[in-house]
């Protein structure tokens, strides 16, 4: 027992200081893209043609990037000869509305907090049931690590539960395959109202790389009302945690 206590003291404090301090991210981290249409030649569509999910639109209004479809794969930045798109280290990506994920420059309308009544209900204790609706386990893995000592989501009163009847909402990952459609709807129905729906990852938002496939429903938005969109493929655990805290009114910047 003494050896265990000594080992624990030697390890020190392992939980990150977020959100009190800005997190340290590796140089290779791909965060919020910055779009600069002024660098685009009139006849260039290289980035749009390289995008595997058609997340990039070029028209008379300029270049737009749909973060809900973006896989953060960097194919567009490698294809663009002018550097009109670049990734930053900004991990803050969550929005409340699907249309807010359409990026036209360097700014993104970050998720706003729930109304006062909902914050009173969920702000101190938020229980969530996770639904993997055909996911590859990428988003699921990053959700799982939020319960580890490093991120310790529980310190904010946020926890995953085993039963939807014990939950305040659901977290959906995956493009919602036809085989998982009924399971998703039944899980949503089992959560007592009022309830929340959080779409995590490109698949859950738009279908991701499987968009428009006959066997998927292009995300969960067509089946259940979504309260929070967290883009990425997969989104970083900090991106997910940041979105959840913004939803609960725990972050403002």
Q: Domain for residue 235, yes or no?
A: yes
Tell me if 194 is assigned to some domain: yes
Q: Tens digits of per-residue pLDDT, 148-188? A: 999 999 999 999 999 999 999 999 999 999 999 999 999 99
Return the beta strands (E) in the chain as ranges.
Answer: 33-35, 56-59, 62-66, 85-87, 102-103, 126-132, 158-160, 169-173, 196-200, 228-230
Nearest CA-CA partner of 101 in 68, 146, 130, 141: 68
Tokens of 90: 């900004």
Write down the pLDDT at residue 144.
96
Is the pTM of the predicted complex or chain greater than 0.85?
yes
In a domain, 99, yes or no: no
- The CATH number assigned to the domain holding 204 equals 3.40.50.12280
What band does 106 get if pLDDT is binned at 50, 70 and 90?
Answer: low
* Domain coverage including residue 226: 116-247
Least confident range from 85-89, 126-130, 194-198: namely 85-89
> According to the model, what pLDDT value does residue 59 have?
81
For the chain, the domain total comes to 1
Q: Is residue 201 part of a domain?
A: yes
The token duo for 210 is 């499987």
Distance CA(135)–CA(245), nearest Å, equals 24
Q: Residue range 82-108: average pLDDT?
A: 90
**Of 63, 78, 72, 77, nearest in space to 90 by CA:** 72
Q: How many CB atoms lie within 10 A of CB 125?
A: 11
For residue 1, being part of any structural domain is answered with: no
Specify whether the CB–CB gap between 208 and 183 falls below 8 A.
no
Cβ atoms 122, 168 nearer than 8 A? yes
Do 171 and 129 meet the contact criterion of CB atoms below 8 Å apart? yes
Which percentage of the chain shows pLDDT scores above 70? 99
Looking at the domain assignment, is residue 137 inside a domain? yes
For residue 180, is it within any domain?
yes
pLDDT computed for residue 244 by the predictor: 97
Q: What is the mean pLDDT of the chain?
A: 92
**Residue 228 φ/ψ, nearest 5 degrees:** -150, 130
Is 43 domain-assigned?
Answer: no
């Amino acid at each position: 027992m003494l050896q265990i206590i000594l080992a624990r003291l030697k390890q020190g404090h392992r939980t990150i200081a977020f959100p009190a301090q800005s997190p340290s991210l590796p140089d290779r981290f791909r965060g919020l893209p910055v779009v600069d249409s002024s660098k685009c030649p009139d006849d260039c569509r290289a980035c749009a043609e390289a995008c595997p999910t058609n997340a990039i639109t070029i028209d008379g209004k300029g270049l737009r990037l749909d973060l809900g479809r973006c896989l953060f794969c960097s194919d567009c930045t490698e294809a663009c000869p002018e550097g009109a798109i670049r990734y930053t280290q900004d991990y803050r990506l969550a929005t409340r509305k699907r249309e807010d994920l359409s990026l036209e420059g360097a700014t993104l309308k970050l998720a706003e907090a729930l109304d006062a009544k909902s914050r009173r209900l969920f702000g101190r204790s938020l229980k969530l049931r996770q639904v993997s609706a055909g996911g590859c386990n990428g988003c699921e893995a990053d959700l799982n690590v939020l319960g580890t000592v490093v991120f310790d989501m529980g310190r904010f009163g946020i926890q995953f539960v085993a039963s939807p009847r014990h939950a305040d909402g659901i977290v959906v990952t995956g493009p919602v395959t036809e085989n998982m459609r009924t399971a998703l709807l039944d899980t949503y129905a089992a959560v007592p109202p009022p309830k929340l729906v959080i779409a995590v990852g490109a698949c859950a938002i738009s279908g991701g790389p499987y968009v428009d496939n006959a066997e998927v429903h292009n995300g969960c938005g067509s089946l259940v009302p979504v309260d929070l969109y967290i883009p990425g493929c997969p989104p970083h655990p900090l991106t997910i945690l940041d979105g959840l805290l913004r939803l609960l009114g725990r972050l403002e910047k």
